[in-house]
Structure formats: structure tokens, C-alpha cells
Amino acid sequence: MATGIEQPTPTDRIAEPASEDESVMAAIIYAEAKVTRDAAPTTEMLAVGWTLRNRYFHVRKTYGAADQKWFGSGTTLESIATHGREFVSASGPRYRNFRKNRSSITHPGEVHFGNLCIQAARQILAEPEPITPGITGTYPYMWFQKSSRRPSSRASANAVPHGEHNFWSFAVGRERG
């Protein structure tokens, strides 16, 4: 079941995130990665988290203002997560509940999944920044959706499926907004 994520110790509650960024990322993963059983689809969870982090670094470190219209200001992970309709789940109840009222999540399967989300976020945020920002392939995931239809003319032609979602990188030469 694991693909780089340690399984959490069983508990009756979701652990406290270590930081605001960890809370935001775990909440997006919790809201976006659809899980129907107690076991989490870890590759989907990681890909969702990496998409958020990649957008943050892309706007903040690479092309800035040119992509703020599409991806958010880049001042915080939350500014990326809640910008426009890019992460639709950020305005939904699962995201809000995870961010503001985690103690109300008590179903054992949801608690287990919530703890996996915290661990996935922690792992992603611990990774070093890209060495060559702006080079195609530096940010492997920039978009995702359930549909297999390409979300942007800037997205790569082929999607990479993880769980219930498809993920895209930039098409070659389309990194700049």
C-alpha cells in the first residue's frame, strides 16, 4: 500500500499539522484524493500535494506575475489553494472541516486517511526546492482533474493517471504565462 509514505500509528483522532503549510496541503489532499475505503491511494495523494507545491514554486520562484492570474499570488500555499476555481475543493466542506474542525472527524477510516494526508504533506514539504525552476520537467504536476480532457493549452498532451485523477505537466516551451 505504501509508496514512500509511512503508515500512521492507529489513533482515534487526526494529528495536529506541524505548520500552516502542512495544514493547507493536507486539507487539499484530504478534499481532493477520493477514498472509498480505509486505505488511501497514496500515489494520488502525493500527486495532489505535489501539484499544489509545484504551483507555489512556479509562481513564487519562476515566472511570478505572469501566472498569478491562473495560479494565485504565491505568497502562501493557501493563496494558491484557494485561488479562483483551480482547487475547487478548497471552497468545499471537506477542506474547511479538515482545516478548522479536525476534531469533529471521528470515523476510523476518515481519521486514518486524514493522518495519511498529514504524512503525505509532511513528506512533500520536506523535499528540497527544484534546482532548475522553469525547466520542463522540474514541476512534473501542474494540473489535475478527473476528466481526461487537457485542462489548458499549456498542459502536456498526455495525462498521467493516479487514482481517480489525471495529472499534467507543462508542455515543452509553455512554462511562461
pLDDT at 128: 84
Q: Read off the pLDDT of each residue in 30-50 and give the average, rounded to a whole number.
A: 77
pTM for this model (two decimals) = 0.82
pLDDT at 39: 60
pLDDT at 6: 57
pLDDT at 152: 83
Contacts 24+ apart (CB under 8 A), 62-70: 62/133, 62/134, 62/175, 63/134, 63/175, 63/176, 63/177, 66/176, 66/177, 67/177, 69/177, 70/152, 70/177
pLDDT at 69: 61
pLDDT at 71: 65
Q: Read off the pLDDT of each residue in 27-38 and give the average, rounded to a whole number.
A: 79
Q: Read off the pLDDT of each residue in 68-84 and give the average, rounded to a whole number.
A: 73
- Specify burial of residue 133 (Cβ count, 10 A radius: 0-12, 13-18, 19+): middle
Q: Is the pLDDT of residue 1 over 50?
A: no
pLDDT at 36: 47
Q: Is the pLDDT of residue 2 over 50?
A: no
Between these two residues, 84 and 50, which has the higher pLDDT value? 50
Between these two residues, 108 and 79, which has the higher pLDDT value? 108
CA distance 59 to 139: 11
